Structure 1
Amino acid sequence: MGMIGNRLPLTDVMSRLAYARPVFHSEADFQFAFAQTVWSMDPDIKLRLEVPARNPLTRRAEYIDLVCIGDSVTRVEFKYATRKWEGTDGITDELFLLRDHAAMDLARHGFVHDVFRLERLTADGDSNGLAIMLTNSPSLWNPGAATSRDAAFRIDEGRTLTGELSWGTPDSPYPKNDRTLGGRYTAHWRDFSTPVGSEFRWLGWTITSPAS
């Protein structure tokens, strides 16, 4: 499992975060709470949210969710894909009203696209990346249809993604959504929290340059 700034194990941060914040209102809430947790565990790690980076292909600015600067640089991308749920976090009386992200195929594509981007951004060999998916939707960790348009992008438990990933079906391809991964990534989902009536799990992939 990856390190943050070459100082903090990601698993330690997620365990601490789950203890304090079992549920989040939104992806932005998740990002902010994660950054707060990193700072509380190691105040010497500098944190920057929504950092712009230049895409060398399009020359447009794109944004990294979180950059952690410690003994090395770690870029972090977050995905928080939820199904509808209402309840409290089991710690306070705070009410959470999670909406239903119906298009889980797009959630998978978004997560893989984060990995694709982080591979490019860590190509200099001086940094690493972390792609994190947190969800209460079992459809993301359970096996699904092998003929769906996102079949190559599925991140079911135990599945490995690498190389060319094609989006669509033989009858309806969509090359614009294809992605090629230089690394090899296997899905090992971890428990996060179990608020009443729901279950959250998370997946984290470490991205480094081939030379690292």
Structure 2
Amino acid sequence: MDFCDKAVFELQKERPIFHSEDDLKLALALKIKEQNPKFEIRLERPIELEMIIRTGGTKIVRAPIDIIVIDENGGIYPIELKYKTKKACIPYNEEKYILAEHGATDTGRFSFRKDIFRIENFKSKNLNYKCGYVLILTNDKSYFEKNVFEKDNLDKHFSFHDGMLLNRSDLSWNYNKLDKTKFILKDDNILYDINSKMHWTCNSEYFYKLDLLKDYQITWNDFSKFEKTNFKYCLIKIEI
């Protein structure tokens, strides 16, 4: 069990629920530091990455990595995390946890793949990179139970349900699912509606092409259980 696995394992005992993604981020960083006093921790460290646009070309994007861990030898371990919740009000340990309804699981699935892409590409700019991690913690069973690939959803190629093999090739959004009388794919490979307005998947970050360097086997594990909601997590270790 490496340091990130160990930190998540210990958090299960001490913090089975979090108020927000920032709450989870801080708790994980503190636990890693507690278990590894010689490690240095950085939060929200900005980096510049070259993102690939589906129509061709690239774009330099400046964005933060959630957690950077630096070991005593200068080795670097970037961590990206997501905390996706269904609406709930859960009392625990004399605190009330009022969880937001995040929804938008289609963009959540895309963003999970994007986090893996970002960590893989972080390596190319950091000679001291050792390995990286992508962690998602959620009580939304749509992520771990729902096989949107079999349902032929718009986001079918971004499904990362339990047992899924996440393919290294980005097959894009499943535009075959859309009503052909309402949307048309024009010569610029951008999808427009009948009013010549771009489909939301063709805007900004959702139009990046996210080919990965390898396939990833997806496994979900129990994190915590409450009366009306269960939390599961998926932790991907990125070794290239």
SS state at 1:170 partner: helix
SS state at 2:168 partner: strand
Letter in 1 for 2:66: D
Per-residue displacement from partner, 1:133-160 (whole Å, max 9, x unpaired)? Answer: 0000111111333311111110111101
Please give the alpha-carbon distance, in whole angstroms, between the structure 1 residues aligned to 2:98 and 2:177. Answer: 39
Find 1:131's aligned residue among 121, 130, 134: 134
Within-5 A mapping of 1:55-70: 55-56=49-50, 57-70=58-71
Please give the alpha-carbon distance, in whole angstroms, between the structure 2 residues aligned to 1:82 and 1:180. Answer: 27
Question: Is 2:44 aligned against 1:50?
Answer: yes
SS state at 2:161 partner: coil
Q: TM-score, normalised by structure 1?
A: 0.88
SS state at 2:215 partner: strand
Q: TM-score, normalised by structure 2?
A: 0.78
Instruction: State the superposition RMSD in angstroms.
Output: 1.8
Gaps of 5+ in 2: 51-57, 179-190, 192-200
Find 2:81's aligned residue among 75, 78, 90: 78
How far 1:207 sits from its partner (Å)? 1.4
Whether the aligned pair in 1 keeps the contact of 2:49 and 2:121 (CA below 8 Å) is: no
How far 1:167 sits from its partner (Å)? 1.5
Letter in 1 for 2:15: R
Per-residue displacement from partner, 1:136-194 (whole Å, max 9, x unpaired)? Answer: 01111113333111111101111011222211322556562442111110111111111
Gaps of 5+ in 1: none
Letter in 2 for 1:192: F
Letter in 2 for 1:77: E
Q: 1:151 to 1:171 in 2, by over 3 A?
A: closer
Please give the alpha-carbon distance, in whole angstroms, between the structure 2 residues aligned to 1:207 and 1:125. Answer: 15
Letter in 2 for 1:82: T
Structure having the higher Rg: 2
Larger CA deviation: 167-176 vs 80-89 = 167-176
Whether the aligned pair in 1 keeps the contact of 2:153 and 2:177 (CA below 8 Å) is: no
- Which residue in 2 is equivalent to 1:104? 105
Whether the aligned pair in 2 keeps the contact of 1:84 and 1:98 (CA below 8 Å) is: yes
Larger CA deviation: 115-124 vs 23-32 = 115-124
SS state at 1:32 partner: helix
Per-residue displacement from partner, 1:66-123 (whole Å, max 9, x unpaired)? Answer: 000014210000100110111123xx11000001111111111111100011111113
Question: Is 2:163 aligned against 1:158?
Answer: yes
Question: Is 2:185 aligned against 1:184?
Answer: no
Whether the aligned pair in 2 keeps the contact of 1:167 and 1:177 (CA below 8 Å) is: no
Per-residue displacement from partner, 1:47-74 (whole Å, max 9, x unpaired)? Answer: 0000011224534421100000014210
The count of corresponding residues between Structure 1 and Structure 2 is: 201
Please give the alpha-carbon distance, in whole angstroms, between the structure 1 residues aligned to 2:24 and 2:133. Answer: 15
Please give the alpha-carbon distance, in whole angstroms, between the structure 2 residues aligned to 1:204 and 1:66. Answer: 14
Quick check: which one's strand share is greater?
Answer: 1
Please give the alpha-carbon distance, in whole angstroms, between the structure 2 residues aligned to 1:171 and 1:135. Answer: 27
Letter in 2 for 1:157: D
- Which residue in 2 is equivalent to 1:119? 120
- Which residue in 2 is equivalent to 1:170? 176
Please give the alpha-carbon distance, in whole angstroms, between the structure 2 residues aligned to 1:136 and 1:122. Answer: 31
Within-5 A mapping of 1:2-21: 3=2, 8=3, 10-21=4-15
